[in-house]
Chains A and B, each alone.
Chain A
Amino acid sequence: MGITLPILILAMPFFMFLLLGLGGVKMSRKVAGVLGILGMGTTMTLAYIVAFTYFFSGDAAFIIDGVRQQFQVFDVTWLAFTERLVVKIGFLLDPISAMMLVVITTISFMVHLYSWGYMESERGFQRYYAFLNLFSFSMLGLVVATNIFQMYIFWELVGVSSFLLIGFFYRLPSAVSASKKAFIVTRFADLGFLLGILTLTFFTDTFNFVDMTSNPMNVLAQTGGATFMGASVLTWAMVLIFTGGMGKSAMLPLHIWLPDAMEGPTPVSALIHAATMVVAGVYLVARMFPVYCVVEASMTFITVVGAITAFYAAVVACTQIDIKRVLAFSTISQIAFMMVSLGVARDGMPGGEHYSGLGYMAGMFHLFTHAMFKALLFLGAGALIHAVHSNDYTKMGGLRKYMPITHWTFLIGCLAIAGIPPFSGFFSKDEMLAAMFNNNWIWGAWMTMVAGLTAFYMFRLYFLIFWWEENPNYKHHRPHDAPWQMSLPLIILAAVSVVAGFIPFGELVTWNGVSYHIHLEAPVAVTSIIVALCAIALAAKMYMRKNTLPEKFRKAMPGLWTAAHHRFYWDELYIFITHKIIFGIICSAIAWFDRHVIDATMDGFAKVTQKVSFAIRGLQGGNVQAYVLWYFFGAVALALITWICLL
Chain B
Amino acid sequence: MNLDILWYLVPSVIMFCCGVYGFVTRKNMIAMLVSLELMLNSADLNFAIFNRFLFPDKMEGMVFTLFAIAIAAAETAVAIAIIINIYRSIGSTEIVETNKMKH
Chain A residues near B25 (CB-CB < 8 A): 625
Q: In residues 596-646 of chain A, which contact B (Cβ within 8 Å)?
A: 621-625, 628-629, 632
Chain B residues near A628 (CB-CB < 8 A): 20, 23-24
Tier of interface size on chain B: 10 to 19
Q: In residues 14-38 of chain B, which contact A (Cβ within 8 Å)?
A: 20, 23-25, 32
Chain A residues near B32 (CB-CB < 8 A): 625
Chain B residues near A622 (CB-CB < 8 A): 99-101
B101 to chain A, nearest CB (A): 8
Flag if B100 contacts A632 (CB, 8 Å).
no
Q: Which of B23, B25, B96 has the largest number of chain A CB atoms within 10 A? A: B23
Q: In residues 351-392 of chain A, which contact B (Cβ within 8 Å)?
A: none
With both beta carbons as reference points, the residue of chain B lying nearest to A622 in the complex is identified as B99
Chain A residues near B95 (CB-CB < 8 A): 623-625
Chain A residues near B24 (CB-CB < 8 A): 625, 628-629, 632
CA distance A629 to B32 in the complex (A): 13
Of the candidates B20, B23, B99, B101, the one whose C-beta lies within 8 Å of that of A623 is B99
Chain A residues near B23 (CB-CB < 8 A): 625, 628
CA distance A629 to B25 in the complex (A): 10
Q: In residues 58-100 of chain B, which contact A (Cβ within 8 Å)?
A: 95-96, 99-100
CA distance A409 to B32 in the complex (A): 105
CA distance A632 to B101 in the complex (A): 24
Main secondary structure of the interface of A (DSSP, over half): helix
Of the candidates A621, A629, A632, the one whose C-beta lies within 8 Å of that of B99 is A621
CA distance A198 to B25 in the complex (A): 77
B48 to chain A, nearest CB (A): 23
Tier of interface size on chain A: under 10
CA distance A623 to B101 in the complex (A): 11
With both beta carbons as reference points, the residue of chain A lying nearest to B36 in the complex is identified as A628
CA distance A624 to B32 in the complex (A): 11
A85 to chain B, nearest CB (A): 62
**CB-based A-B contact count at 8 angstroms:** 19
CA distance A213 to B20 in the complex (A): 91
Chain A residues near B100 (CB-CB < 8 A): 622
CA distance A294 to B102 in the complex (A): 86
CA distance A628 to B23 in the complex (A): 8
With both beta carbons as reference points, the residue of chain A lying nearest to B27 in the complex is identified as A625
Bitwise interface map of A from 109 to 145 toward B, beta carbon under 8 Å scored 1, else 0: 0000000000000000000000000000000000000
CA distance A270 to B40 in the complex (A): 94
Chain B residues near A621 (CB-CB < 8 A): 99
With both beta carbons as reference points, the residue of chain A lying nearest to B96 in the complex is identified as A623
Chain B residues near A632 (CB-CB < 8 A): 20, 24
CA distance A621 to B95 in the complex (A): 12
CA distance A621 to B100 in the complex (A): 9
CA distance A623 to B27 in the complex (A): 11
CA distance A629 to B24 in the complex (A): 7
A622 to chain B, nearest CB (A): 4
CA distance A599 to B32 in the complex (A): 50
Bitwise interface map of B from 39 to 57 toward A, beta carbon under 8 Å scored 1, else 0: 0000000000000000000
B46 to chain A, nearest CB (A): 16
With both beta carbons as reference points, the residue of chain B lying nearest to A623 in the complex is identified as B99
CA distance A276 to B62 in the complex (A): 97
A576 to chain B, nearest CB (A): 66
CA distance A516 to B37 in the complex (A): 112
A579 to chain B, nearest CB (A): 60
Chain B residues near A629 (CB-CB < 8 A): 24
With both beta carbons as reference points, the residue of chain B lying nearest to A632 in the complex is identified as B20
With both beta carbons as reference points, the residue of chain B lying nearest to A625 in the complex is identified as B24
CA distance A623 to B32 in the complex (A): 13
CA distance A621 to B101 in the complex (A): 12
CA distance A157 to B90 in the complex (A): 73
CA distance A623 to B100 in the complex (A): 9
CA distance A625 to B23 in the complex (A): 7
Chain B residues near A625 (CB-CB < 8 A): 23-25, 32, 95
B70 to chain A, nearest CB (A): 24
Q: In residues 284-336 of chain A, which contact B (Cβ within 8 Å)?
A: none
A641 to chain B, nearest CB (A): 20
CA distance A624 to B101 in the complex (A): 12
A602 to chain B, nearest CB (A): 35
CA distance A622 to B102 in the complex (A): 12
With both beta carbons as reference points, the residue of chain A lying nearest to B23 in the complex is identified as A628
Chain B residues near A624 (CB-CB < 8 A): 95
Chain A residues near B99 (CB-CB < 8 A): 621-623
CA distance A623 to B95 in the complex (A): 8
CA distance A632 to B20 in the complex (A): 9
CA distance A225 to B32 in the complex (A): 90
CA distance A622 to B100 in the complex (A): 7
CA distance A196 to B72 in the complex (A): 81
A526 to chain B, nearest CB (A): 103
CA distance A622 to B103 in the complex (A): 14
CA distance A624 to B23 in the complex (A): 9
With both beta carbons as reference points, the residue of chain B lying nearest to A621 in the complex is identified as B99
With both beta carbons as reference points, the residue of chain B lying nearest to A626 in the complex is identified as B24
Q: Which of A623, A625, A629 has the largest number of chain B CB atoms within 10 A? A: A625
CA distance A632 to B24 in the complex (A): 10
A-B contacts, 17 of them at CB < 8 A, read A621-B99, A622-B100, A622-B101, A623-B95, A623-B96, A623-B99, A624-B95, A625-B23, A625-B24, A625-B25, A625-B32, A628-B20, A628-B23, A628-B24, A629-B24, A632-B20, A632-B24
Residues on B facing A (Cβ under 8 Å): 20, 23-25, 32, 95-96, 99-101
Q: Which 6 A-B pairs have the closest CB atoms?
A: A622-B99, A625-B24, A629-B24, A623-B99, A628-B23, A632-B20
New A-B contacts (8) at CB < 8 Å, excluding given A623-B95, A623-B96, A632-B24: A622-B100, A624-B95, A625-B24, A625-B25, A625-B32, A628-B23, A628-B24, A629-B24
